[in-house]
Structure 1
Amino acid sequence: MSKILVIGAGGQLGQCLRIVAVRRGIVDIVFPAEQDANILDESILNALLAKEQPVFVINCAAYTAVDKAEDEVELAKAINETGARYLASACATHDAALVHVSTDFVFEGKAVKLLTENDEAKPINVYGVTKLDGEKAVTAILPAHYIVRTSWLYSEYANNFVKTMLKLGAERDELSIIADQVGTPTYAIDLANAIYDIIESGQTDYGIYHYSNEGVTSWFDFAKAIFDISRMEVKVNPIPGLAYPTKAIRPPFSVMDKTKIKTTFNIKIPYWKDSLAACITQLG
Structure 2
Amino acid sequence: MKSVLVTGANGQFGKSIEKIAVNYPQLNFVFATSSELDITSIESIEKKLFNESFSYLINCAAYTDVENSEKEPEKAYKVNADGVKNLALICKKQHTVLIHVSTDYVFDGEKGAPYLVTDVTNPINVYGASKLKGEQHIEYLMDSYFIVRTSWLYSEFGKNFYKTIFQKAKEGANLSVIDDQIGSPTHAGNLAEYILNLIIDQSKSYGIHHFTDGEILSWYGFAEKILKENGLADKVQLEKAKNYRTFARRPKYSVLEKHI
Give me the TM-score of the superposition, normalised by structure 2.
Answer: 0.96
Aligned equivalent of 1:123? 123
1:175 is displaced (CA, Å) by: 1.0
**CA distance in structure 2 between the aligned counterparts of 1:221 and 1:61, rounded to whole angstroms:** 29
Q: Which string of whole-angstrom CA distances, capped at 9 and with x for unpartnered residues, describes residues 195-251 of structure 1?
A: 0010112236110000110120110010011111111111111135xx110010110
Equivalent in the alignment of 2:134: 134
The aligned residue for residue 235 of structure 1 is 237
- Equivalent positions of 1:213-232 (< 5 A) are 213-232=213-232
Amino acid at match of 2:221: D
Question: What amino acid is aligned across from residue 62 of structure 1 in structure 2?
Answer: A
Give per-residue Cα distances to partners, 1:70-112, cap 9 Å, x unaligned: 0110010000000000000010111100000000000000121
1:8 alignment counterpart: 8
Partner SS for 1:133: helix
Partner of 2:21: 21
| Structure with higher helix content | 1
1:86 matched to 2:86? The reply is yes
Q: Distance in 2 between matches of 1:142 and 1:157?
A: 31
CA contact (8 A) 1:56 1:99 kept: yes
* Residue of structure 2 equivalent to 1:38: 38
Q: What RMSD over aligned residues (CA atoms) do the two structures have, in Å? A: 1.2
Determine if contact 1:2/1:55 at 8 Å carries over to the other structure. yes
Counterpart residue number, 2:247: 247
Deviates further, 19-28 or 65-74 = 19-28
CA distance in 2, matches of 1:25, 1:53: 18
Separation in 2 of the partners of 1:44 and 1:219?
38
1:269 match: none
- Evaluate the alpha carbon distance shift between residue 239 and residue 142 of structure 1 in structure 2; reply closer, same or farther with a 3 A threshold: same
Contact residue 70 and residue 248 of structure 2 kept, 8 A: yes
In structure 1, what is the equivalent of residue 170 of structure 2? 170
Q: Are the equivalent residues in 1 in contact too, given 2:110–2:253 (CA < 8 A)?
A: yes
Query: Counterparts of 2:2 and 2:166 in 1: how far apart (Å)?
Result: 39
Alpha-carbon distance change, 69 to 26 in structure 1, aligned in 2, over 3 angstroms: farther
What percent of counterpart residues are identical?
Answer: 38
* Counterpart in the other structure of 1:266: none
Q: Which moved more, 1:121-130 or 1:170-179?
A: 170-179
1:55 aligned residue: 55
User: What code does the residue aligned with 1:210 have?
Assistant: H
SS at match of 2:224: helix
Equivalence for 2:187? 187
Q: What is the CA-CA distance between 1:27 and the residue it aligns to?
A: 4.9
> SS of the counterpart of 1:28?
strand
Secondary structure of the residue aligned to 2:101 is strand
> SS at 1:102's partner residue?
strand
Q: What count of residue pairs does the alignment treat as equivalent?
A: 258
TM-score (norm 1): 0.88
**Shift in Å at residue 25 of structure 1?**
3.0
The answer for unaligned runs of 5 or more in structure 2 is none
Name the SS of the counterpart of 1:215 in structure 2.
Answer: coil
Cα distance in 2 between the residues matched to 1:32 and 1:227: 35
Alpha-carbon distance, 1:146 to partner:
0.2
Instruction: Give the whole-Å Cα distance in 1 for the aligned partners of 2:143 and 2:27.
Output: 27
The amino acid that maps onto 2:126 is V
Alignment correspondent of 1:146:
146
* Shift in Å, 1:35: 2.6
Q: Answer whether contact 1:36 1:48 (CA < 8 A) is retained.
A: no
